[in-house]
Amino acid sequence: MGIEVKVPTLGESITEATLGQWLKKPGDAVAADEPIASLETDKVSVDVPSPVAGVFGDPLVKEGDTVGVGAVIATVNEGSAGAAPAANVATQPASSPTSAPTPAQPAVAPSNGELTDAQAADLRLSPAVRRAVLEAHIDPSSIRGSGKDGRLTKDDVLQAAQAKKSPSPAESQGAAPTNSSAPAAAVPTPGRNEERVKMTRLRQTVARRLKEAQNTAALLTTFNDVDMTEVIAARARYKDLFEKKHGIRLGFMGFFVKAAALAARDVPAVNASIEGDEIVYRDYLDVSVAVSAPKGLVVPVIRSADRMGFAEIEKAIAGFGKKAKDGTLTQADMTGGTFTISNGGVFGSLLSTPIINPPQSAVLGMHRIEERPVVKDGQIVARPMMYLALSYDHRLIDGREAVTFLVRMKEAIEDPTRLLIDL
């Protein structure tokens, strides 16, 4: 009997996850604490380590299955002896409820007697690839996998299906007499492919929370534009000295975080939240900074950003960006947050209406900087301008407060000296 591998504790209030990928195959040698599976929670990916050194035994769940905390998902046989790979969770093409048993069987069953190979190949199929195999009626053992460890990818299946669609006398002569049932649907038009991919838990959570915000909050967005001339000049003047002293580049986000902290002191409702019939005001600012990760947008939190210097803010943002790319953000990194700043400008966005992240009451949207004609001292001049958007919960924040907040930010960005003398 192997040692059980259980789903570890995933964080406060998280009770289940999705098994994203098996990192080991039956019979593979594993070291103690070596990751053998990757789980996807609402916000982060979590590796499941092997409890002992030995040989990976039986996976008890499939990729894409939902598992609870403490659930047994696999076994590991202690010791160094090779264990025979188990015929575990293979899903045979004939078991698909959507395929007709009589006509579909000849198309799927291999004619060369390699059933054992087909079963072995099927053990390594991801849910998306297995679905493609069933839809294309292709023997997976006849396809050479281009993925890691020889695993089949969806592209491999699609290419094999395309090759199978080329004119074949054997196919046309051996057609079953019952081919009148939807023959046209089996031949998709070349160049018009579709792919169905199950939503990740992260994407499902983002969708649920954004819809929840629209359903519960009275959302409104107000705009202003900011002349970035002084910030750009200050950054150009001090960026080399800043990087030499602090070991980090001076970006624009530090200016906006500091300006938001300054504005929130004058308009505390922007940093507050509604809990039941009470309003919770805070004397600290925990800024959620939207960061792009390979699996979607995540919002790690800079704690007490109002008490941090430019270098501390920039280091925190850079650290979160690296962790997001590496997939090492933790639940603690993203818990909390009292106000969000989202910078769509890095992707070229000119204007947007961001949606708040409940229970927060406001989110600031930054956008791209572009030169536009503006009037300064009676003269039309070209200036680097940026649109700012503040989306807020109108149940708590009045329009006057939202406008005041953006005006305070505009004043601080256009005259960065205000950030130093607390004006």
Per CATH, 3-78 and 93-186 having the same topology is answered: no
Question: What local confidence, expressed as pLDDT, does residue 208 receive?
Answer: 83
Closest CA to 299 of 261, 327, 337: 337
Q: How would CATH label the architecture of 93-186?
A: Irregular (4.10)
Length of the chain: 423
As a whole number, the mean pLDDT across the chain is: 79
Closest CA to 250 of 292, 305, 310, 300: 310
Per-domain boundaries in the chain = 3-78, 93-186, 201-421
Show the tokens assigned to 228: 């970035």
Per-10-residue mean pLDDT of the chain, 423 residues long, equals: 80 72 85 84 75 85 83 82 42 42 40 42 59 73 72 77 62 48 57 83 78 88 96 93 93 93 95 93 92 75 93 92 83 88 90 91 95 94 96 95 96 91 71
The three-point CA angle 299-302-305 to 5° equals: 140
- Measured CA to CA, the distance from residue 178 to residue 378 in angstroms comes to 82
Question: What local confidence, expressed as pLDDT, does residue 166 receive?
Answer: 58
Question: What local confidence, expressed as pLDDT, does residue 33 receive?
Answer: 85
Catalytic hit among 155, 240, 266, 394: 394
> Which tens digit of pLDDT belongs to each residue from 197-256?
877 777 787 788 888 888 888 999 999 999 999 999 999 999 999 999 999 999 999 999
Q: How would CATH label the architecture of 3-78?
A: Beta Barrel (2.40)
Three-state DSSP class for residue 2 = coil
137 belongs to the catalytic site: no
Query: Helices (DSSP H) in 342-389: which residue ranges?
Result: none
394 belongs to the catalytic site: yes
**H or E element, residue 259:** helix 253-266
Catalytic hit among 155, 398, 415, 422: 398
Question: What local confidence, expressed as pLDDT, does residue 311 receive?
Answer: 94
Asked if the bond preceding 167 is cis, omega within 30° of 0, the reply is no
Show the tokens assigned to 29: 């040698």
Closest CA to 5 of 24, 273, 326: 24
- Measured CA to CA, the distance from residue 151 to residue 126 in angstroms comes to 9
Question: What local confidence, expressed as pLDDT, does residue 42 receive?
Answer: 63
If one counts every other C-beta atom within 10 angstroms of the C-beta of residue 78, the result is: 13
CATH T-level assignment (fold) for domain 201-421:
Chloramphenicol Acetyltransferase (3.30.559)
Strands 16-22 and 45-49: what pairing? unpaired
> Which tens digit of pLDDT belongs to each residue from 71-88?
888 888 887 544 444 444
- Measured CA to CA, the distance from residue 360 to residue 301 in angstroms comes to 13
Strands 35-40 and 54-59: what pairing? unpaired
